[in-house]
Structure 1
Amino acid sequence: MVDHFRFFELGCVILSFSILQIVIGQCSTGPKIRQRGNALNVWYLHPGTRLRVDGGLGELRIYCYTGRPKHIINIWQTALLQLDIVSDKYELYGGANENEVLAEYEQHQSFWAISPFSWKQKDVKLNPFNRSCVGIHSSEGYEVHLNIIRIDYWKVLLLGAGVLLFISAPKLSNNPLFYYVCGISVGICASFLVLVYMMSKLLPKRPIMYGFVIGGWTVGIYVLQYLWQNLRLMTEQYQNHVLSYVVFTGIVSFVVCYRLGPLTDQRSKNLIKWALQGTSLSVIFFSSQYQEATVAIIIIILVAYNFPAVWTSKLLAFWKRYFPPQAKLLSEAEYYEQGAKETAKALKELREYCSSPDCNAWKTVLKLKDPLRFASFIAGTSHLSDEELLAYESEARRTFSEYYTDDSESGSEC
């Protein structure tokens, strides 16, 4: 009987909140809805358009951009509506056309006094290819400017980061450093959920409190939005507290990750790899508002990633067979320079091998006629003696003179 009474009490609370919201909405939207019958203040913007609105009117003005035809060269284009206003006493409403903007405006006017879904930005991104509108309601003067960015480097960076993440996903899933970095990051972010859970334990477990929680969810969202908007200010004023909290939760997360250890199961690694690849494909998809082009890029990446290696090797062999690469001939100076460079590299590798434990030095010394020369070579001296260098230079001079003598004799006979 008590349970039925509690459920009845909870239903009454929810019903009272709903009726109160409807009454407040009707009271607040009485004179506003009549704006549908009047002419809307709709302005169509063009690239470079700058409009100035004086204060004191307090009416809704709608600004629309018709967009441009989709073309592959405009894949990273961004349409930005820049709002220049001194104070924050304004509201923004978005939609695909002026009717949707007006509907959203009327819906916000029918809400409670606290409007948690209002978004305040001074740089509003519009769809560069389709028609999009933004409504501005302010009692103060402001100025709007439509800026078309031909190549948004942030979108290019997102596309490159998505492709790089997709390619690096197999290696990252097997990297212990990536495991610790992700574990610490998730631990720092998840610690906020622990705080929320601890705060929920402090609330009394009564139906009337559940009613207030259900009816006052808008207040909670408003608080979260307020904290997010003032996050930079909080980190500047309470820098020591924020840093201490992040360091503490990071250390605890590292201890937990170290205790559990990196993943060894291949199926778990595959799940991480697939999650990273799915995230990278989502980043590529949202890197541009030209969704047809991003979908085509995703398809190309998936086909190239899953293309059989046997077919790739056959295609490369076929290409080299019918289109062999042209060999670049070296000049005499390049030939001697490359020979000296490769000889020095090989001698260095030989010294490192002879000094390593892999080489049995005593066994090698027994096979040599001059062990002291071998020891001096390992120590860093030249592998050629002075007599050998003199003999080599003499032989090179004799060969050089004979070559030019033969050329002169053959030339005189001709």
Structure 2
Amino acid sequence: MDIMRSSEPSCFCYLPNGSLHLKNIWTTIQVKINSIEPVEVVSISEERNCHQSENLFAFLKCLLNNLWQPRVSKETVISVAYYGDKTCLRVQPTNKMPYTVSVQQNMLDEKLLLLFVAGGLLFHFARNLSRSVIFYYSAGVAFGVFATLIFLLLMLKRFIPKLSTFWILMSGCWFSSLYFFYILKEDLKWLWYNSAHYILGYVLTVGLFSFTACYLHGPLHSVQSMNLLMWLLQLLGLVFVYFGIAIPQVAYVIIATMLFSKILQYLLQIVCYLGRKATRFFKSEKIKIRHLTEEEFREQGETETARALEELRRFCSRPEFPSWVAVVKLQTPQKFANFVLGLPHVSPEEVTAHDELYGLGGAILEEQLFNTENKTEPDQLIGLTEAEENHEEEGDGPAQQNSLHFHGREFL
């Protein structure tokens, strides 16, 4: 720790070291200025030209530091980027009172680490958060408490006719909210110790109003709104990751890796979707086996029988068919000849005889029915006989006992 004491207005500059070390990824330089009387600490704009910033993030960071200077106070703590640009501060004491400037290297800045972790989680779970009802109400209440102007503007968006007017007002509300938050940041501890009940009342009142407005509006339902919220959360996560790392080069590599992983995830989803679509064209459908009904079985039997008889008739009509051999082997050659010439293979008398035997009311069917009834009746008779025998055995038991007892009395 370096300590410097003075009572005159002085200018202090920090020139970062050019060598990069990964162990300093969350390292910051903490400058603490203490005095008995309030001192004013401002950044020197000549040494901090924002037009020479390397990128947009550095330009915004420089612009915010130049616009919002720390207020006059007895104790001022400033965090300087370990690998940032050259930083110069001018300390202006009042009444030439002595002050102390202490410089300390903070190897692990909890704020940077927390900001980096929050950015990574926000980027990774942006899709789930954009579709979560709990996150919707939590974010709405937080916006209402910490950014009341932004919340009111979002609630009154439907009454603003032009979209350009809405975005202009939104930009003004954002900068106003950040400015008020920065102004009240230094006096927040004093307000909490002296006016805690006012702060709690404000939080409860505005939080309840915000929750009611979110409940009446309802969660997001359209896919476009959910995707827009997801992209905003991912962008906010990347911003947190950038400001959560002290080494800009490492921040660029991590951000590029996160974006590449997200793009690769989308590409894999597209490939899987196309693969599923392609397999439907080349995949054979499964054969569905279904049992025939009685009516379908009868119709199919008649159709196949007629087709088979027609094939047999054509085969027998061929010149190479050994007709004399068939005539010798058949019992009724005349019937076979009539079949080959086109007559039915079954005569009407045979059809009538078949119906009398196997049709409804036929002899074969009645015989089968009577046989099943005769089989059941002996079973019933056997059951009754066994029951009677058991009953007789139970009845003979006491008689045998009495006879034995009677013989016993005669014996006596």
Superposition TM-score, scaled by structure 2 size: 0.48
Q: TM-score, normalised by structure 1?
A: 0.48
